[in-house]
Structure 1
């Protein structure tokens, strides 16, 4: 019988060790003084600082990049998807009023390619640094047979803190409130399974698209925007009744999550100019408008529900920090 080994089965421990050695200094660059451990322990240690909080509450979330990864693989561009992941997770807790404190990632692949993997890690590190979030741990798994070719998956978990009295949810939303939409920067991380059915070859992804002033592939890999600073700026200046991160399910579906069931959400779909990419996808893929609105953010990355008396000042502030915003609806 032929002698077998873990390496012959497709798992290269030496390559994994080399990868860890390369990323250690990158990851350490995200550490705050609260991180008590380095890479390599069975668990990561973080000592929270509660001085600025009267009633500290942990807020957590977990997510993945999804099939946007397939476009990154096709275009051999790996350095942005890590930042996509961090920003998506940051936004999910930021809309609750929380600030991020630490992040953990899960990276799984059929065959570990060190250079591509380091590029992925650079994106994670960049995202954590920009959001003042420590990347305290993670898992890298080489699983031959489960992932084919260059396929991989990337997911992450985040933990943040908010003062209990400052939690943002739907309890203060009332009849007459105004819904303000803040512009997205591309598709973020949703709708890519449909995108890949419409643009299904590297040739199509690499071809210049006049409406986009760049190739479709480059546009599709635009980084998911972090709204952390924008949200914190709003919360420190105004009474914000609720905030929604527009992800899978679209604008209406996600905003509905932060509106009481006893209230009706009304969206004015004519209130902003939908970016050209969505018309392109709808036409090229022969996609129904209803499906478009349920699948993509349609140019709105965040919705903010405020009292009508506050709306103008909120819009002025958003303009001052160069955020495009629109009154996109109201509550009945």
Structure 2
């Protein structure tokens, strides 16, 4: 993420690229990055946050800038900021090319110089970001010379038919005396109508990810955002974890097909760029890619004055993975008697926040209030860990490593990512006609945050189960013998992978989801 001084932060920025020619693709092992204005020194703390912290690497992030007051040869200023281990020397010379010079009046010309950065081939920091802006203070865009904008990888803007999903979050519409998702502004009927209208144009709609034939495999693509969870991040001024949510929403979708995530792309849009906040968001995205073991291949930052409220931004993410054709998990083999296993969530994850915000409004609760029902920490200064805001902003669990570990050892028939629509809408997506999921609601205890939401909003059980994950972020359908084997693996097996699976139900004749108590 490039940085500039206040004088030019609202200006039109050039396209910022970061490449990672990887040994996997046959290229040499260097990353090139166009760097920022000399008007402000880069922050080592922000720079280091853009890289995975646990990599055994001697990678250094170099900042080199050249500035000129005319079209003559620029004077160069080289800076190096240590990242991880060691310190690489700054480049000995600066040789910008004219197409990399953007004229910024009245500040002369800014030359952006690609600098080689040695980088570990497994590093996920790589980006091919193109930053788009719409104005430069009082200057018109005609006063600017734009550099060529070459993304690291060409991509298609076509939407995958099977991955096309309505962004409407679902409500149960079952009445009740308390709040509903529809009353909070999310209309399931409008989403259903959209799906109906586009069904002829996008056959196969409804899956968690879109599959594209590629040799003996399928490429699996998914796209998603984090919804109005962003509003809480704005209010609390906490931006370093929302990027994890962004990655999680897409990679958790595509892994349901058995696909190993390969790479991720992001889109960051705002009216006026807050560099510090944006850098924290990107750091979270990098961390999400590290957790899912995929490359952060590129992204786009769009600055569009007047389009968003001041201090706010929007995010979208796009993930692509791959799975062998004969290893695709699609639920077709599910049969009555199969066992449903659940993987615990960390809380609300990234769905249902329109209703959460409505509950906050109605109850008068503050994000800084201690979450009711949770005892405050006995250690002074740790009370923030138990606030409503901290609970709600807890990052979405990324299940990639758990799922890949399980499917590499035992057959898995179906996997459902429990997102918008909760159990009620998501589990049926992997069940053949004539089969239902019988869920034992006493098999686990939902996190306290759900109890607070339900009580404060006086929300019915059905509405909660169709809006939130209720403590289970991923559900898997396996045979009884496979379930027995998975459940026999001890806690040590899951220590570095995530929450251990628990049995939450079984497949029975019928339709939809049946909620029961054991």
TM normalised by structure 2 equals 0.57
Measured in 2, the distance between the counterparts of 1:16 and 1:37 equals: 12
Deviations 1:196-247 (A, max 9, x none): 1112499710112252450000011111001111001110111111111110
In structure 2, what is the equivalent of residue 50 of structure 1? none
In structure 2, what is the equivalent of residue 233 of structure 1? 405
Once the 2 structures are TM-superposed, how far is the Cα of residue 278 of structure 1 from its aligned partner? 1.2
Q: Any stretches of 5+ residues in structure 1 without a counterpart?
A: 1-6, 47-52
In structure 2, what is the equivalent of residue 278 of structure 1? 450
- CA distance change for structure 1 residues 37 and 91 in 2, over 3 Å: closer, same or farther? closer
Identify the range of structure 1 (25-34 vs 67-76) with the bigger mean alpha-carbon deviation.
25-34
In structure 2, what is the equivalent of residue 187 of structure 1? 348
1:242 pairs with 388, 395, 414, which one?
414
1:205 pairs with 354, 367, 370, which one?
367
In structure 2, what is the equivalent of residue 13 of structure 1? 12
Q: How does 1:139-178 map to 2 (within 5 A)?
A: 139-178=300-339
Q: Secondary structure at the match of 1:121?
A: helix
Q: How does 1:252-263 map to 2 (within 5 A)?
A: 252-263=424-435
- CA distance change for structure 1 residues 203 and 325 in 2, over 3 Å: closer, same or farther? same
1:44 equivalenced with 2:220 (yes/no): no
1:90 equivalenced with 2:251 (yes/no): yes
Deviations 1:153-176 (A, max 9, x none): 101111111111111111110111
Identify the range of structure 1 (310-319 vs 54-63) with the bigger mean alpha-carbon deviation.
310-319
Q: Which has the higher contact order (CA 8 A, sep 6+)?
A: 1
Measured in 1, the distance between the counterparts of 2:15 and 2:371 equals: 39
Q: Secondary structure at the match of 1:95?
A: helix
**Contact in 2 for aligned 1:252/1:267 (Cα 8 Å):** no
1:300 equivalenced with 2:472 (yes/no): yes
Q: Secondary structure at the match of 1:104?
A: strand
2:291 pairs with 130, 133, 147, which one?
130
Once the 2 structures are TM-superposed, how far is the Cα of residue 45 of structure 1 from its aligned partner? 2.9
Identify the range of structure 1 (60-69 vs 124-133) with the bigger mean alpha-carbon deviation.
124-133
Deviations 1:62-82 (A, max 9, x none): 000110000000000000001
Q: Secondary structure at the match of 1:62?
A: strand
Measured in 2, the distance between the counterparts of 1:20 and 1:291 equals: 49
Once the 2 structures are TM-superposed, how far is the Cα of residue 275 of structure 1 from its aligned partner? 2.0
Measured in 2, the distance between the counterparts of 1:54 and 1:33 equals: 27
**Contact in 2 for aligned 1:30/1:133 (Cα 8 Å):** no
The structure that has the greater radius of gyration is: 2
Measured in 1, the distance between the counterparts of 2:123 and 2:16 equals: 26
- CA distance change for structure 1 residues 108 and 97 in 2, over 3 Å: closer, same or farther? same
TM normalised by structure 1 equals 0.86
2:391 pairs with 204, 210, 219, which one?
219
Q: Secondary structure at the match of 2:489?
A: helix
More helix by share: 1
Measured in 1, the distance between the counterparts of 2:364 and 2:394 equals: 17
* Number of residue pairs matched by the alignment: 319
Measured in 2, the distance between the counterparts of 1:258 and 1:127 equals: 26
In structure 2, what is the equivalent of residue 330 of structure 1? 506
In structure 2, what is the equivalent of residue 49 of structure 1? none
- CA distance change for structure 1 residues 31 and 74 in 2, over 3 Å: closer, same or farther? farther
